Structure 1
Amino acid sequence: MMLSQLTTAEHTHELLAFARGAALPTGGFGYLRSDGRVDTSVAVSTLITARMTYCMSIASVLASSPEGEAVRLRDEGAGIAEAAQLAEHGIRALSTLLRDTRNGGWVVDLGDEPDASDKRAYQTAFVVLAASTASRAHVPGAERLLVDVLSAVETHFWSERYGALIESWNADWTVREPYWGANANMHGVEALLAAHGATGDPLWLARATRIADTFIQQRARANNWMLAEHFADDWTPLPDYNIERPDDQFRPFGVTIGHLFEWSRLLLELGAAYPAGAAPAWLRECAEGLYATARRIGWSVDGAEGFVYTVDWVGEPVVRERLHWVVAEAIGAAATLHSVTGQESYLVDLRSWQSYAARYLLDREQGSWYHTLDAKNRPTDAVWSGKPDVYHALQAVLLGDLPVGPTLFDRLVTLSRNE
């Protein structure tokens, strides 16, 4: 991948150099401001700590194993040399600091808000992702953490009846939120694929496939790929959910363009986890349908380059800000579809969106990617303030060059073996 004048290796180094500033001496990773300093007004959270731990685990593999040859990161560059120590730093925080030692599970954050001690599938999925990846990277403590978090998934979050993850519970697991959400379950697919890779247990692949079937094969396909994200307790769609707060960071109103791309990539990665010829055919069909829809209703639809954040149910833009993670997921989906199909159109899209990211999203003065641009592609704090983590940007940079595989870890390994 080439982002303007930056090679994959160079830009990966830059992202990781920026990210290492999030490590806190008191444990975990903090929320980064635009200048790369920790915003001390934001409580240490499970989400940011887990995402950064995942990134550092990937970086530790790039730095110290044969897989690193794939992107030429074996040299000790800024942000790479200490990746293994930072991954262990994150695993330690997820194993202690952010654990609810009284009730079990992982808190939302260490703040004093009433819901800070709630247990949420979204955050738990990222703990699974971090622990699974760190385990494969041989980070101390990761295997034990993975056993514990998968037990929590099995005990508290998995619904065998519905083939989905329960959204959230209160602190002591006595009150369940009467809501089913696509976002948490999408990251559940990502997490369970990682767990399958780390453990070899086919249960997690089967669970990931069921979640994808529940939300995409059964529901998104029936709605012409306009994925509904929000459902009541009885699975009645909630099309007006958050209509008064359409730019919510995690549960926005309408169709979320970036999630269509993210699901598209994940479905193809899910297919890659099966033995040759054994993957359900609908995985690729759905991936192509979601991608085509996201491209058609999301890209440059309001007079300027970039993807809008959300559209309504007839495809009209609602939140016109351009979020960095949406472009990152478009890059990942295009690269993966090109790897699977060989179709030139996906490569054209990939290069176009990489070029867009280079022109508008790279902050060449302070580092990392701007997290939000306005409708004219100018940096803004309208939806996301600062640059909390490098999870999406790092994946976009690496996925642009990788063959398909069940996880980013696997895709790096596959490339290394093929060279």
Structure 2
Amino acid sequence: MTGVAGAEGFASRLIPAWLAVALPQGEGPAPVIEALGDDGPRTTLAQCRTVFALAHLARVADRPDLLDAAHRIHGFVSLHLRGADWGHRFSDGQGPDACLRRSYDQSFALLSVAALMRAGSDRVDARDLHRIWDFIETRLIEPATGALWQDERGPDSPDTRSQNPQMHMLEAVLEAHAATGDPVWLARAEGLAAVGLRHFVDPATGAVREFTGPDLEPTDDASGTRREPGHQYEWAWLLHCLADATGRDDLRKAAARMTEFAETHGLRRGGPLDGAPFEAVDATGRPTLPEHLLWPLTEAGKLHARLGHRDRTIRIADIIFGAYFAPDHDPRWINRLDAEGRTTWDAALTRLLYHVAIFVTEGHRAGCWRIGPATA
């Protein structure tokens, strides 16, 4: 199956076939599985990412059936994962970790509600966005810096601070701006981008650091020198989205430096996965985890699509749908391959569909393929 065929059938064939096994029959609130064959606790991360992916695809590909499925999962989230204060717990499992409210998870709760609004849902409105944001602002943002704590424990959270919650919160507030047109969300996006650029970008290379110390200062240990090519592309895509909304060329320049680092140091050269991003490199660009997860390919692909790089986008689609997904829209996929294209992690993780959904809609938006009559 070519990449174009895989992308074109993602919303119309693969996702409905997957929902037939991932979502219980019926019409009421229900969760999706966390992975094929996984009957464990349901997480805010996977459930809200799936709500976003289905609502996003419903809007772009004109698939009302996917919005119906998104509503059922959102109903489960509202009943079992969201608290009275609108903070969302890690999972519906048992124990203190399951009850913890992480910044990372709140970003996807916000993202999912905004995507439902954009898809025309009558189950949510702007008040829901503000309720989630109120929890984030009062419980999760460090007043002195504007940076997110890792979770609601604030300064008592684990020692390292991660760029990932900052990045996904930027994504969520951009979606909220697109859903409402309210300039307050754009101002929040600019604030979150400023935090990321100030505290999580290495000024020497322009690359995104994965982790800092608890004071947001860089460290020289393995976590402090870790750079993930996939996150260089993901941040760059978000900065281009924000630049499109604000006209700020400085954001495009920062995105270009991130992309240059990833393109220079972070890609496999030669072999069946030629052009696939490594899982991780160090601060100098030396590969430290030289295998290939699925999600970084989608991040590279959606950036190339947004920049109009048609050939690169289609090449990435060929790798994704030719090497990671089963043929003929069979709803199975794998998470990681080695340099020779051999499977090293075969989990069909539900949370990965969010990444693929954005990639195929960005390729649709760029004219690389068509997934439905609507436009992104």
TM range (shorter): 0.7 to 0.9
Kept in 2, the 8 Å contact 1:15–1:394? The answer is: no
Structure-1 separation of matches of 2:53 and 2:4: 23
TM-score (norm 2): 0.87
1:62-211 alignment runs, 5 A limit: 62=60, 68=61, 74=62, 80=63, 82-101=65-84, 104-143=86-125, 144-170=127-153, 175-211=156-192
TM-score (norm 1): 0.78
Kept in 1, the 8 Å contact 2:3–2:314? The answer is: no
Kept in 2, the 8 Å contact 1:164–1:211? The answer is: yes
Displacement after TM superposition at 1:394 (Å): 1.5
Q: Kindly indicate whether residue 325 of structure 2 is the aligned counterpart of residue 362 of structure 1.
A: yes
2:350 alignment partner in structure 1: 388
Kept in 2, the 8 Å contact 1:221–1:286? The answer is: no
Letter in 2 for 1:285: K
Structure-1 separation of matches of 2:138 and 2:24: 31
Letter in 2 for 1:388: T
- Cα root mean square deviation, aligned: 2.7
3-state SS in 2 of match to 1:387: coil
Letter in 1 for 2:295: W
Kept in 2, the 8 Å contact 1:217–1:286? The answer is: no
Displacement after TM superposition at 1:284 (Å): 0.7
3-state SS in 1 of match to 2:365: coil
Kept in 1, the 8 Å contact 2:86–2:132? The answer is: no
3-state SS in 1 of match to 2:9: helix
2:307 alignment partner in structure 1: 337
- Which stretch has the larger CA shift, 46-55 or 362-371? 362-371
Kept in 1, the 8 Å contact 2:149–2:155? The answer is: no
3-state SS in 2 of match to 1:380: strand
1:96-145 Cα deviation digits (max 9, x unpaired): 211134x6511101122431111111110000000011012232332253
Unaligned runs of 5+ in 2: 368-372
- Which stretch has the larger CA shift, 108-117 or 47-56? 108-117
3-state SS in 2 of match to 1:197: helix
1:217-296 alignment runs, 5 A limit: 219-220=200-201, 222-242=203-223, 254-274=226-246, 279-296=247-264
1:71 alignment partner in structure 2: none
| Residue of 1, 25, 28 corresponding to 2:31 | 28
Structure-2 separation of matches of 1:220 and 1:302: 29
Decide whether aligned partners of structure 1 residues 204 and 22 sit closer, same or farther in structure 2, where only a CA change above 3 A counts: same
Unaligned runs of 5+ in 1: 63-67, 69-73, 75-79, 244-252, 339-345, 405-411
- Which stretch has the larger CA shift, 155-164 or 182-191? 155-164
Decide whether aligned partners of structure 1 residues 217 and 326 sit closer, same or farther in structure 2, where only a CA change above 3 A counts: same
1:345-400 Cα deviation digits (max 9, x unpaired): x334223322322331221164254221123212222xx73332311112111211
- Percent identical pairs in the alignment equals 24
2:291 alignment partner in structure 1: 321
1:146-193 Cα deviation digits (max 9, x unpaired): 2321221222223343132222124xx895455431011100110010
- Which stretch has the larger CA shift, 259-268 or 154-163? 154-163
The alignment covers a number of residue pairs equal to: 362
Decide whether aligned partners of structure 1 residues 167 and 241 sit closer, same or farther in structure 2, where only a CA change above 3 A counts: farther
Structure-1 separation of matches of 2:102 and 2:199: 24
Structure-1 separation of matches of 2:33 and 2:298: 22
Q: Kindly indicate whether residue 19 of structure 2 is the aligned counterpart of residue 16 of structure 1.
A: no
Decide whether aligned partners of structure 1 residues 256 and 113 sit closer, same or farther in structure 2, where only a CA change above 3 A counts: farther
2:49 alignment partner in structure 1: 51
Structure-2 separation of matches of 1:258 and 1:112: 32
Letter in 2 for 1:321: E
Kept in 2, the 8 Å contact 1:87–1:139? The answer is: no
Displacement after TM superposition at 1:218 (Å): 6.1
3-state SS in 2 of match to 1:307: coil
1:259-293 Cα deviation digits (max 9, x unpaired): 0000011000011222xxxx222111111111121
Structure-2 separation of matches of 1:335 and 1:174: 39
Decide whether aligned partners of structure 1 residues 325 and 227 sit closer, same or farther in structure 2, where only a CA change above 3 A counts: same
Structure-2 separation of matches of 1:141 and 1:184: 26
Structure showing greater relative contact order (alpha-carbon pairs closer than 8 Å, 6 or more residues apart): 2
Letter in 1 for 2:347: S
Kept in 1, the 8 Å contact 2:334–2:343? The answer is: yes
3-state SS in 1 of match to 2:175: helix
3-state SS in 1 of match to 2:161: strand
Displacement after TM superposition at 1:9 (Å): 3.2
